[in-house]
Chains A and B, each alone.
Chain A
Amino acid sequence: MKIDTTVHSGYTAISIAGEIDMYSSPALRDTLLTMAKKKEAIVIINLKDVKYIDSSGIATFVEALKKMLSYGGKLKMAQVPDRVMEIFNFSKLDKVFDIYGSIEDAANS
């Protein structure tokens, strides 16, 4: 899994590529919890190149979302691949996360 973080005017984008599983999710957790610790106002996760996500990856996103909501921050998802979306739907996380078709849509919402 690769994580690229880029800071933009008004938001921080995190692009993830590869597989999010029990092995890789601790690195993702570190990245997201660091954002939450810095009280980043808007973080947009670009999932376009994610090939797989397991329950540890979902748990990581849920934990980060809860931390960010606690100080009024926003965690948004963009470009969610179909298979990842299926997993979000099954887990009922589609009702919890703000999901957008593109980074631009997420940034402008």
Chain B
Amino acid sequence: MSNPIVVTIPSHPRFLSVVRAAALLAAEISGMSCSEAEDIKHAVDEACSNVIKYAYQCDCTRKITVKFDDNQEGFQVIIEDSGNKSRLEDIKIRELDEVRPGGLGIHFIKKAFNTVAFDKKKKNGNRLLLTRHKNTDKTA
């Protein structure tokens, strides 16, 4: 990928399918296998769902911008919103062994990406930085 791909959607769950399609194609263009690209698609979907749930408190009238870039660091996805400040530790998470509804999203995000972090320099809203390093086998 020579140039970043940027997709902006309204913060309504009906548009998550647009982000999933873009994530899958961007991952495939960067050379990932079908299975790896599916993991990327799933992770980006979960991250955008979290924006709607946590940052926007289900306000469907806002915007989410997702940028895909394949650079020296690896395959990078940046998800930006203008909602409430989020911290990874505030997002509902459960142990995989603990069977109850909810709390799985972060596991799917970490399955696909080596690093998952909010950009602390962003003053208003959130900028989530997801990076999958080159030549990383995260299928295990």
Contacts and interface: CB of A to CB of B under 8 A. Distances in A.
A and B part of one assembly: yes
Interface of A: 19, 21-23, 52, 54-56, 58-60, 62-63, 66, 83, 86-87, 90-93, 96
Given A22-B13, A22-B49, A23-B13, A55 B105 contact: yes
Given A22-B13, A23-B14, A90-B111, A56 B49 contact: yes
Given A23-B13, A56-B49, 11 more contacts: A19-B20, A21-B20, A23-B12, A55-B46, A55-B105, A55-B108, A63-B101, A83-B38, A87-B42, A90-B111, A96-B99
B17 interface: yes
B45 interface: yes
A92 B17 CA distance: 25
B13 A54 contact: no
Contacts of B102: 55, 59
A43 to B, nearest CB: 17
Contact of A91 (B14, B16, B35, B96): B96
Most-contacted residue by chain B among A52, A54, A83 (CB, 10 A): A54
